[in-house]
Structure 1
């Protein structure tokens, strides 16, 4: 049924009229529709009575033909049937996760590591799922997930998530140290904590207990160093900019350390083993088939673990950088 100005119109009436108008033969129309000639005639008559207009001229021995009203009504009837078919196809596709929009928040290191690309490419081949991406800090992503402004978050590991969110570790990698190219240890393959004595550490810091500051604390403790000066930056890219300027050192994920930033040299940490993890987070009650199709299609990356599991050897991976 579809609603019109005079009440509901049975779609079977419209189909019967369109097929008769196409075939100009009631028996052939009935065969195409899987019904009898009299059934087709009754459906067309019901439509005419509903409209208060004669759509077909017909006689016992003559070929049915469209009236002037039928000529005008035919394209409208076809458009309604085509619109219904489109709506059904869209509904079915959306129900299977083949159509829709998925909003993804990400920290920049998710892009550098390939995790963002894996997520964007996750929808099944041939689907029309549109994935929108927005760079956001980890705290902002968590807030946006709870407020339903984004559907999926790619963010840095934190020990606890707000209630109602579900997470999976999709990548775990070593933390490396970024040094100015003129630093005495810049040419070394590995740098001890002691070689970082007296340095300022650039780090993405937020109002959280866990994060980059905890990684710095682990290095300081390993080297028995006094508490260093921390320089708060928005993200790891900004941290590397300060390192390149020679004003600080930084602890960064390995994928960030591979970025070709002028004046920066990266090395492994010796004597202290730190790792950092990326999480793929979504709402636990997520019901969108499009979102669920992205989550199913986005394969876990290197070092992936069960939801909420900490990265191996991580004393407290960064909980708040957007890059």
Structure 2
């Protein structure tokens, strides 16, 4: 029996909001239609739309009128977040030299680096335009400033990730890792939930709590993506097996595993760039998989999930809060619920 998909369940719970979101996304893509190919359109069609889902779910949890349609500005904000996320995917594939994205050619691989950079930039700019066009109040306008801050932090996080120095102490590597994932992942999750609550006119305490829910879910999400590189590497959309080791990317499972091995161990040699052959990469991956560091990383991800769920106590109990909790648990359960025979595109959550 297949496990239920809490993301699909949450979209079903939101009812007609998914159709409004899809229509809004098509409208937002229309001005750039001459520049997009089927590759970019397929990227938008794919994925589980987790960030816009969290925004709309947060808005619904905070809405005073449970059965009334959500404000149009909330739907537009969800569209903006999906475009912002897609921009980061296009740029990620350029940086990682990824040939595929969700089982199809990446924009960079199909159209070249120069075009991919411009297409990614186009998504960033259009995302901000869509968000700014939906503001109605001074409070909404503050969110526009905030989404610009989010875009800035996303870029900083990507730059931080390229700053590789495995000779730093374990404490420093861990500190830099969390600073990076906060900027490149947790910030966007937190903003999604904050924007949804704000656009539903929630109180300040509730907005803060829901933003912290998203931020902690984002941290858990990124840690689990890094765990996935070792547990189910074939399940990662847009990444090859053990891509983090190949790129000498200092992710949490690697950082926590390093102290378990002597400096001349293959894992240390790989992260220092001294051994890059396939056999060494495979041996280093096995070392991480067998280490206590991998489970310590997973335990930390679960701890952030528990912290996230605790933040929802300010939200009235009900099906929408239950759906948010189910999504938070799914973020950390997905690698172990995945079937080896299930297609990678179905297992990955982007």
Q: TM-score range by the shorter chain?
A: under 0.3
Q: Report the structure, 1 or 2, having the larger helix content.
A: 2
Q: Report the structure, 1 or 2, having the larger strand content.
A: 1
TM-score w.r.t. length of structure 1:
0.22
TM-score w.r.t. length of structure 2:
0.21
